[in-house]
A = this chain, B = another copy of it.
């Protein structure tokens, strides 16, 4: 039909990933192969393949002869993730400043301008928690022209980040600040200053991490990680 060239296992993989990230399949819940196969109307073959791919995306954990469960979220792993992003996206920003074409940079500037209009309109409430933030980071990563970096961040880490955001109900008051930092990074890239772009991006992500750490320490009156 439209894009039926995609294999059945791929469809189920994408669908289950979306449901896990959104929380419809809650963390820690057991994923019975026969049950899921009935639920999605497929056989266990493609389903197992989808589970294997979800495992390599770190969205489910499998134990041999026991089964698969949706990954359990922990504040420790969330911080691990931020450290990784700081290093990887810092690299991406540096490479983007060195490698992006002029057209790509213009597109990026346009994206930032759209975000600014949207934030001004919404009073900056729904920027950070929406897809807008990840959109920006995704553009930078794509601009790095490093296939492996792109694959790693876009196919694995960002889905995990979105999962944490949904589950931990993270939004925070960083929306206007984040947007300003984004604009600074774009300026550095437009100026072809890779070193500065890397520094700003690392600082940007470190600030997010530090805010999460504060929240986890209970220093901020924001939604707790989860209700157990």
Residue numbers of A with Cβ under 8 A of B are 5-7, 10, 45, 48-49, 52-53, 56, 58, 64-65, 77, 80-81, 83-84, 86-88, 90-91, 95, 146-149, 152
For residue A76, which residue of chain B has the nearest CB? B147
- Closest CB in chain B relative to A7 CB, distance in Å: 5
- Contact residues in B for A53 (Cβ distance below 8 Å): 52, 56
Taking chain A's interface residues, is the majority helix, strand, or loop, or is none over half, making it mixed?
Answer: helix
Q: How far is the CA of A5 from the CA of B66 in the complex (A)?
A: 12
Contacts A83-B91, A83-B95 known; 4 new A-B pairs at CB < 8 A: A5-B64, A53-B56, A83-B146, A84-B149
> Copies of this chain, how many?
2
- Contact residues in B for A146 (Cβ distance below 8 Å): 80, 83-84
- Contact residues in B for A149 (Cβ distance below 8 Å): 80, 83-84
